Protein backbone atom coordinates (compact mmCIF):
# COMPACT_ATOMS: atom_id res chain seq x y z
CA UNK A 1 0.00 0.00 0.00
CA UNK A 2 1.50 3.35 -1.10
CA UNK A 3 1.37 6.57 0.87
CA UNK A 4 -0.65 9.48 -0.55
CA UNK A 5 1.82 12.18 -1.58
CA UNK A 6 1.59 15.50 0.26
CA UNK A 7 -0.24 18.34 -1.49
CA UNK A 8 1.82 21.44 -2.22
CA UNK A 9 4.84 20.00 -0.50
CA UNK A 10 3.05 20.03 2.88
CA UNK A 11 2.42 16.89 4.87
CA UNK A 12 -1.16 15.68 4.79
CA UNK A 13 -3.23 16.67 7.82
CA UNK A 14 -4.09 13.72 10.03
CA UNK A 15 -7.68 12.53 9.88
CA UNK A 16 -9.48 13.73 13.02
CA UNK A 17 -10.48 10.89 15.31
CA UNK A 18 -13.52 10.80 17.54
CA UNK A 19 -12.67 10.33 21.21
CA UNK A 20 -13.58 6.93 22.56
CA UNK A 21 -14.91 6.65 26.08
CA UNK A 22 -13.48 3.49 27.52
CA UNK A 23 -15.24 1.98 30.50
CA UNK A 24 -13.38 2.36 33.75
CA UNK A 25 -11.62 -0.77 34.86
CA UNK A 26 -13.51 -2.14 37.86
CA UNK A 27 -11.61 -2.02 41.11
CA UNK A 28 -10.54 -5.50 42.13
CA UNK A 29 -11.97 -5.56 45.64
CA UNK A 30 -11.34 -8.74 47.63
CA UNK A 31 -14.35 -10.86 48.59
CA UNK A 32 -13.00 -11.25 52.11
CA UNK A 33 -10.40 -9.60 54.32
CA UNK A 34 -6.99 -9.62 52.58
CA UNK A 35 -4.21 -11.69 54.11
CA UNK A 36 -2.33 -8.70 55.51
CA UNK A 37 -5.47 -7.56 57.31
CA UNK A 38 -5.95 -11.02 58.84
CA UNK A 39 -2.36 -10.86 60.08
CA UNK A 40 -2.91 -7.40 61.54
CA UNK A 41 -6.12 -8.44 63.29
CA UNK A 42 -4.54 -11.61 64.66
CA UNK A 43 -1.63 -9.62 66.05
CA UNK A 44 -3.94 -6.99 67.58
CA UNK A 45 -7.34 -8.68 68.15
CA UNK A 46 -8.52 -6.06 70.64
CA UNK A 47 -8.68 -3.53 67.79
CA UNK A 48 -9.69 -5.95 65.04
CA UNK A 49 -12.90 -4.01 64.12
CA UNK A 50 -10.96 -0.78 63.85
CA UNK A 51 -8.30 -2.35 61.64
CA UNK A 52 -11.03 -3.83 59.44
CA UNK A 53 -12.87 -0.50 59.15
CA UNK A 54 -9.70 1.38 58.17
CA UNK A 55 -8.74 -1.21 55.56
CA UNK A 56 -12.30 -1.41 54.21
CA UNK A 57 -12.37 2.30 53.40
CA UNK A 58 -8.97 2.04 51.71
CA UNK A 59 -9.71 -1.13 49.74
CA UNK A 60 -13.48 -1.04 49.19
CA UNK A 61 -14.18 2.69 48.90
CA UNK A 62 -12.90 2.95 45.30
CA UNK A 63 -15.08 0.02 44.26
CA UNK A 64 -18.15 1.73 45.74
CA UNK A 65 -17.38 4.95 43.82
CA UNK A 66 -17.10 3.08 40.53
CA UNK A 67 -20.24 1.05 41.19
CA UNK A 68 -22.34 4.16 41.84
CA UNK A 69 -21.00 5.88 38.71
CA UNK A 70 -21.73 2.87 36.50
CA UNK A 71 -25.18 2.36 38.01
CA UNK A 72 -26.18 5.97 37.36
CA UNK A 73 -24.85 5.81 33.79
CA UNK A 74 -26.79 2.60 33.11
CA UNK A 75 -29.97 3.77 34.86
CA UNK A 76 -30.48 7.47 34.05
CA UNK A 77 -32.70 9.18 36.59
CA UNK A 78 -32.44 6.37 39.14
CA UNK A 79 -33.08 7.58 42.69
CA UNK A 80 -30.61 7.30 45.54
CA UNK A 81 -33.08 5.14 47.47
CA UNK A 82 -33.34 2.73 44.54
CA UNK A 83 -29.54 2.43 44.29
CA UNK A 84 -29.25 1.88 48.02
CA UNK A 85 -31.87 -0.87 47.82
CA UNK A 86 -29.93 -2.53 45.00
CA UNK A 87 -26.76 -2.51 47.08
CA UNK A 88 -28.55 -3.83 50.14
CA UNK A 89 -30.12 -6.74 48.23
CA UNK A 90 -26.82 -7.68 46.64
CA UNK A 91 -24.85 -7.82 49.87
CA UNK A 92 -27.60 -9.41 51.95
CA UNK A 93 -27.56 -12.22 49.39
CA UNK A 94 -23.77 -12.46 49.62
CA UNK A 95 -23.99 -12.56 53.42
CA UNK A 96 -26.59 -15.32 53.23
CA UNK A 97 -24.42 -17.32 50.85
CA UNK A 98 -21.35 -16.99 53.05
CA UNK A 99 -23.32 -18.48 55.93
CA UNK A 100 -24.45 -21.42 53.83
CA UNK A 101 -21.27 -22.60 52.13
CA UNK A 102 -18.54 -22.23 54.73
CA UNK A 103 -16.38 -25.32 54.85
CA UNK A 104 -14.00 -24.69 57.75
CA UNK A 105 -14.93 -26.20 61.11
CA UNK A 106 -14.33 -25.35 64.73
CA UNK A 107 -13.00 -22.10 66.11
CA UNK A 108 -10.91 -21.18 63.01
CA UNK A 109 -13.97 -21.65 60.82
CA UNK A 110 -16.09 -19.45 63.08
CA UNK A 111 -13.48 -16.70 63.02
CA UNK A 112 -13.23 -16.86 59.22
CA UNK A 113 -17.02 -16.74 58.92
CA UNK A 114 -17.52 -13.65 61.03
CA UNK A 115 -14.51 -11.93 59.47
CA UNK A 116 -15.85 -12.44 55.94
CA UNK A 117 -19.31 -11.35 57.09
CA UNK A 118 -17.99 -8.17 58.70
CA UNK A 119 -16.04 -7.39 55.51
CA UNK A 120 -19.11 -8.00 53.32
CA UNK A 121 -21.18 -5.74 55.56
CA UNK A 122 -18.57 -2.98 55.41
CA UNK A 123 -18.65 -3.28 51.63
CA UNK A 124 -22.42 -2.86 51.68
CA UNK A 125 -22.30 0.21 53.91
CA UNK A 126 -19.81 1.93 51.61
CA UNK A 127 -21.97 1.15 48.57
CA UNK A 128 -25.02 2.60 50.31
CA UNK A 129 -23.02 5.71 51.18
CA UNK A 130 -22.04 6.08 47.51
CA UNK A 131 -25.70 5.67 46.48
CA UNK A 132 -26.50 8.80 48.50
CA UNK A 133 -23.46 10.72 47.19
CA UNK A 134 -21.67 10.44 50.53
CA UNK A 135 -17.96 9.94 49.79
CA UNK A 136 -17.05 6.28 50.55
CA UNK A 137 -13.35 7.19 50.47
CA UNK A 138 -13.58 9.76 53.26
CA UNK A 139 -11.87 8.75 56.49
CA UNK A 140 -15.11 9.41 58.41
CA UNK A 141 -16.63 6.34 56.77
CA UNK A 142 -14.47 4.17 59.05
CA UNK A 143 -16.09 5.96 62.00
CA UNK A 144 -19.52 5.37 60.47
CA UNK A 145 -18.78 1.67 60.07
CA UNK A 146 -17.92 1.22 63.74
CA UNK A 147 -21.03 3.10 64.90
CA UNK A 148 -23.40 1.50 62.41
CA UNK A 149 -22.03 -1.94 63.25
CA UNK A 150 -22.43 -1.07 66.94
CA UNK A 151 -18.83 -1.61 67.90
CA UNK A 152 -18.99 1.88 69.41
CA UNK A 153 -22.04 3.78 70.56
CA UNK A 154 -20.85 7.26 69.54
CA UNK A 155 -18.58 8.68 66.86
CA UNK A 156 -16.16 10.23 69.36
CA UNK A 157 -15.16 6.91 70.90
CA UNK A 158 -14.97 5.32 67.44
CA UNK A 159 -12.57 8.04 66.24
CA UNK A 160 -10.40 7.60 69.30
CA UNK A 161 -10.20 3.83 68.81
CA UNK A 162 -9.43 4.30 65.10
CA UNK A 163 -6.60 6.63 66.03
CA UNK A 164 -5.17 4.01 68.38
CA UNK A 165 -5.50 1.28 65.74
CA UNK A 166 -3.83 3.47 63.10
CA UNK A 167 -0.99 4.18 65.49
CA UNK A 168 -0.56 0.47 66.15
CA UNK A 169 -0.45 -0.17 62.40
CA UNK A 170 2.40 2.31 62.03
CA UNK A 171 4.26 0.94 65.04
CA UNK A 172 3.91 -2.63 63.81
CA UNK A 173 5.16 -1.62 60.35
CA UNK A 174 8.21 0.03 61.89
CA UNK A 175 9.04 -2.31 64.75
CA UNK A 176 7.16 -5.57 64.10
CA UNK A 177 5.13 -5.64 67.29
CA UNK A 178 3.25 -8.86 66.49
CA UNK A 179 1.88 -10.58 69.57
CA UNK A 180 3.35 -13.71 71.11
CA UNK A 181 0.20 -14.84 72.97
CA UNK A 182 -1.22 -18.38 72.68
CA UNK A 183 -2.93 -18.76 69.33
CA UNK A 184 -6.12 -20.29 70.76
CA UNK A 185 -6.73 -17.35 73.07
CA UNK A 186 -5.99 -14.88 70.27
CA UNK A 187 -8.41 -16.62 67.90
CA UNK A 188 -11.16 -16.63 70.52
CA UNK A 189 -10.73 -12.91 71.22
CA UNK A 190 -10.57 -12.15 67.51
CA UNK A 191 -13.71 -14.17 66.83
CA UNK A 192 -15.66 -12.41 69.56
CA UNK A 193 -14.63 -8.95 68.39
CA UNK A 194 -15.46 -9.69 64.75
CA UNK A 195 -18.76 -11.31 65.72
CA UNK A 196 -19.64 -8.15 67.62
CA UNK A 197 -18.86 -6.10 64.53
CA UNK A 198 -20.89 -8.37 62.26
CA UNK A 199 -23.90 -8.26 64.56
CA UNK A 200 -23.89 -12.01 65.15
CA UNK A 201 -23.48 -13.44 68.62
CA UNK A 202 -20.35 -15.50 68.92
CA UNK A 203 -22.25 -18.29 70.67
CA UNK A 204 -24.57 -18.71 67.69
CA UNK A 205 -21.65 -18.93 65.30
CA UNK A 206 -19.93 -21.50 67.51
CA UNK A 207 -23.09 -23.64 67.68
CA UNK A 208 -23.44 -23.39 63.91
CA UNK A 209 -19.95 -24.83 63.57
CA UNK A 210 -20.26 -27.62 66.13
CA UNK A 211 -23.81 -28.98 65.71
CA UNK A 212 -24.11 -31.13 62.54
CA UNK A 213 -26.47 -29.59 60.00
CA UNK A 214 -26.84 -26.34 61.91
CA UNK A 215 -24.24 -24.40 59.95
CA UNK A 216 -26.36 -23.94 56.84
CA UNK A 217 -29.65 -23.06 58.56
CA UNK A 218 -28.36 -20.94 61.43
CA UNK A 219 -25.48 -19.42 59.50
CA UNK A 220 -27.73 -18.33 56.66
CA UNK A 221 -30.40 -16.88 58.93
CA UNK A 222 -28.00 -15.11 61.30
CA UNK A 223 -25.92 -13.56 58.52
CA UNK A 224 -28.84 -12.28 56.46
CA UNK A 225 -30.75 -10.98 59.48
CA UNK A 226 -27.78 -9.03 60.84
CA UNK A 227 -26.97 -7.63 57.38
CA UNK A 228 -30.58 -6.53 56.73
CA UNK A 229 -30.62 -4.65 60.03
CA UNK A 230 -27.35 -2.96 59.16
CA UNK A 231 -28.64 -1.99 55.71
CA UNK A 232 -31.66 -0.31 57.28
CA UNK A 233 -29.51 1.71 59.67
CA UNK A 234 -27.13 2.66 56.85
CA UNK A 235 -29.91 3.89 54.58
CA UNK A 236 -31.35 6.01 57.38
CA UNK A 237 -27.94 7.56 58.14
CA UNK A 238 -26.86 8.35 54.60
CA UNK A 239 -30.29 9.43 53.37
CA UNK A 240 -30.12 12.21 55.97
CA UNK A 241 -26.66 13.24 54.71
CA UNK A 242 -27.29 12.89 51.00
CA UNK A 243 -27.92 16.57 50.30
CA UNK A 244 -25.16 17.83 52.55
CA UNK A 245 -22.13 19.73 51.22
CA UNK A 246 -19.42 17.16 50.32
CA UNK A 247 -16.90 16.64 53.08
CA UNK A 248 -13.26 17.55 52.44
CA UNK A 249 -11.08 14.48 52.22
CA UNK A 250 -8.22 14.04 54.62
CA UNK A 251 -4.96 15.18 52.96
Taking the C-alpha atoms of residue 218 and residue 52, their distance in angstroms, rounded to an integer, is 24
The answer to whether the CB of 80 falls within 8 A of the CB of 239 is yes
Taking the C-alpha atoms of residue 143 and residue 152, their distance in angstroms, rounded to an integer, is 9
Residues contacting residue 115 through CB under 8 Å, at least 6 positions apart: 32, 33, 38, 41, 52, 190, 194
Q: What is the pLDDT along the chain (251 residues), one digit of tens a residue?
A: 444 444 444 444 444 443 333 334 445 566 889 999 999 999 899 999 999 999 999 999 999 999 999 999 999 999 999 999 999 999 999 888 765 555 555 667 778 888 888 999 999 999 999 999 999 999 999 999 999 999 999 999 999 999 998 888 876 655 555 555 566 678 888 888 888 888 875 445 544 554 444 444 445 667 888 899 999 999 999 999 875 444 455 54
Separation of CA 189 from chain center: 22
150: left (phi over 0), alpha (psi -120 to 50) or beta: left
Residue-level pLDDT at 169: 80
Residue-level pLDDT at 188: 81
Taking the C-alpha atoms of residue 225 and residue 217, their distance in angstroms, rounded to an integer, is 12
Taking the C-alpha atoms of residue 19 and residue 161, their distance in angstroms, rounded to an integer, is 48
Residue-level pLDDT at 147: 97
The answer to whether the CB of 56 falls within 8 A of the CB of 145 is yes
The answer to whether the CB of 94 falls within 8 A of the CB of 202 is no
The answer to whether the CB of 54 falls within 8 A of the CB of 166 is yes
Q: Model pTM?
A: 0.77
Concatenating the DSSP letter of every residue in 135-186 gives -TTSTHHHHHHHHHTTSSSSHHHHHHHHHHHHHHHHHHHHH-----S-HHHH
Taking the C-alpha atoms of residue 223 and residue 212, their distance in angstroms, rounded to an integer, is 18
The answer to whether the CB of 124 falls within 8 A of the CB of 145 is no
Residue-level pLDDT at 50: 96
Amino acid sequence: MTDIPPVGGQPAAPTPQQPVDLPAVPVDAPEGPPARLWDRMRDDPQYAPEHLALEAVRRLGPEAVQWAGRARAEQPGVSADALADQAARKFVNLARLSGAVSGAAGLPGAVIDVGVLAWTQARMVLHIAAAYDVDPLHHDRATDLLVLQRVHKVAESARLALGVAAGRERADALFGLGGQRPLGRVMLQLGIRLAQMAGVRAAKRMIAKVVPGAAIVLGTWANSSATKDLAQRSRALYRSRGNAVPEPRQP
